[in-house]
Chain A
Amino acid sequence: MLVLLAAIFLLHIACICLLLAATIHNAWWMSNTMSTDIWSRWMLNGGTWNYTEIPDHYPKEYLQAVQASSVLACIFCILGLFVFVAQLYTLPKGKRFLFTGAFQLLAWLCIMIAASIYTDIFHKDKEQGWYGASFILAWISVCLTFISCITYFILRKKTA
């Protein structure tokens, strides 16, 4: 039983780490000389990486929507961790971790919105480059948060 608890806890922490990495690291789209999105662009100029702004032709409203949803996903996932620990101590026996599951559900929803908007709106023209690490982590977090959310909805507190 303790092993199960540790595994679920580790899954939740892994979700948080992946979400934070996807949100903070500017690597949703990469090329040989560029690592960009969602906050700024890193350009490789003669051996050094320079921190530049995202160009103006980006659809600004969609970019800000992606920023907002990925930040919200991180917030909900972290809050979910605290709620989980609180529910471990206060939930009556035999009950489900619904509150924690609700937070994970919200986190899943937000990161799915962010990843979907980014996939569908940005880099549709045949630019040079490929999807970077943060993009892949964002989609992996979609799966992991969903698994975590289902786990909390099914899991029951150990009866005496």
Chain B
Amino acid sequence: MLSVLALTSVVLLGIASQTTAIVVYTSWERHALVGTDVRLSCSFFSWKWTSPDVTFSWHYRSDGARDSIAIFHYTGGVPYVDNKGPFRDRLEFVGNPSRRDGSILIKNVDIADNGTFTCDAKNPPDIAGSPSNVRLLVFENVPVQAGVITGAIIGVVLGLLILIVAIYYLMRFLVARRVFSLSMSKHGKKGKGKEGSQQKQALAVTDPAKLKAAASEKKKQESRREKK
């Protein structure tokens, strides 16, 4: 059974390596602030081993232009960086072709760098595939995402409200317990007949509000007894 499975997987792999093309991966979109450096990553998936003749090439199409220009090419183990176009002296190759990484670094981006970058990788003999695009969006200042501040304000205010209500009820509960324990210890020391019924009354009370009322009632009874 296991040998049948192994055989089928090998056959399928063999078929697949002949039918699937090279797949190039880049990010979908990159956001950057004016003046920062942006790393555009490019990688590929191929069934064949990474060849020493692997090539990477980057093209750039500005946000208003119709054609794309070539800005980077890596071939024969040597990276060739654009030294005439809009990215001269700003482009650097930071990839590792033996690890299938063809990333480039654009330094000091500007608003004019808004556009679409296309990465095309070829891994001979696996050359059939389509290139991948990444959009670069450059901002003057970071835009506020819709609804972040709204959600934050609502969350904080409601959280504070719940906290205050919880603390209020906790304080009431603690104060009532303290009153209850004080009255219990007082009556325990005196130990008279009437205290039996009063203690039963105290034990029956559980609600803190009624506890306060009961405590005040006990005080009234004590004052009446003192008057007698």
Q: Taking the complex as formed, is A61 at the interface, i.e. its CB lies under 8 A from any CB of chain B?
A: yes
- Chain A proximity mask over B152-182: 1 for CB below 8 Å, otherwise 0: 1110011001000000000000000000000
| A53 and chain B: residue at smallest CB distance | B146
A17 is an interface residue with CB less than 8 A from chain B:
no
CB distance from B149 to the nearest CB of A (A): 4
The residue in chain A whose Cβ has the minimal distance to the Cβ of B154 is A68
Determine how close the nearest CB of chain A comes to the CB of B122; give it in whole angstroms: 41
- Asked whether B147 is an interface residue with its Cβ less than 8 Å from the other chain, the reply is yes
User: When chains A and B are docked, how far (Å) is the Cα of A32 from the Cα of B148?
Assistant: 32
Closest to B143 in A: A60
Contact B157 A72 (CB under 8 A): yes
Interface residue count for B (Cβ, 8 Å)?
15
Q: How many of chain A's residues touch chain B, expressed as a range?
A: 10 to 19
Contact call B144/A67, Cβ cutoff below 8 A = no
Instruction: Report whether B157 and A64 are in contact in the complex, using a CB–CB cutoff of 8 Å.
Output: no
Selected from A60, A72, A92, A106, the residue in CB contact (under 8 A) with B153 is A72
Chain B CB within 8 A of A75 CB: yes
Q: Which residues of B contact A106 (CB under 8 A)?
A: 161
Complex Cα spacing A64 to B146, Å: 8
B154–A64 CB distance below 8 A? no
Contact in complex: B150, A61 (CB < 8 Å): no
Task: Tell me whether A64 and B158 are in contact (CB under 8 A).
Answer: no
- Let me know if A104 is at the binding interface, CB within 8 A: no
The answer, yes or no, to whether A71 is at the interface (CB within 8 Å) is yes
Write out, one digit per residue, whether chain A residues 65-107 have a CB within 8 A of any chain B CB (1) or not (0).
Answer: 1011101100100000000000000001000000000000010
Q: How far is the CA of A25 from the CA of B147 in the complex (A)?
A: 17
B144 is contacted by which of A64, A71, A72, A75 (Cβ under 8 Å)?
Answer: A64
Whole-angstrom CA separation of A71 from B156 in the bound complex = 13
How far is it, in angstroms, between the C-alpha of A60 and the C-alpha of B150 when the chains are bound? 10
Q: Which of B146, B147, B149, B154 contacts A72 (CB 8 A)?
A: B154
Verify A61–B158 contact, CB threshold 8 A.
no
Contact of A71 among B143, B149, B150, B161 (CB under 8 A): B150
Question: How far in angstroms is the closest Cβ of chain B from A67?
Answer: 5
By beta carbon, the residue of chain B nearest A71 is: B154
Minimum CB–CB distance from A35 to chain B (whole Å) comes to: 19
Q: Nearest A residue to B157 by beta-carbon distance?
A: A72
Residues of B within 8 A of A71 (CB): 150, 154
Q: Is the CB of B143 within 8 A of A65?
A: no
Residue pair A75, B149 in contact (C-beta under 8 Å):
no
- The reply to whether A68 and B144 form a contact with Cβ atoms under 8 Å apart is no
In this complex, the member of B143, B150, B151 whose beta carbon has the largest number of chain A beta carbons within 10 angstroms is B150
Docked CA distance A36–B149 (Å): 20
Nearest Cβ on chain B to A82's Cβ, whole angstroms: 13
Which single residue of chain B is at the shortest CB-CB distance from A69? B153
The 6 residue pairs across chains A and B that have the minimum distance between CB atoms: A68-B153, A64-B149, A68-B150, A64-B150, A67-B150, A60-B144
- Measured CB to CB, the residues of A under 8 A from B are 60-61, 64-65, 67-69, 71-72, 75, 92, 106
Q: A64-B147, A71-B154, A106-B161 are in contact. List 15 more A-B contacts (CB 8 A).
A: A60-B144, A61-B144, A64-B146, A64-B149, A64-B150, A64-B153, A65-B149, A67-B150, A68-B149, A68-B150, A68-B151, A68-B152, A68-B154, A69-B153, A72-B154
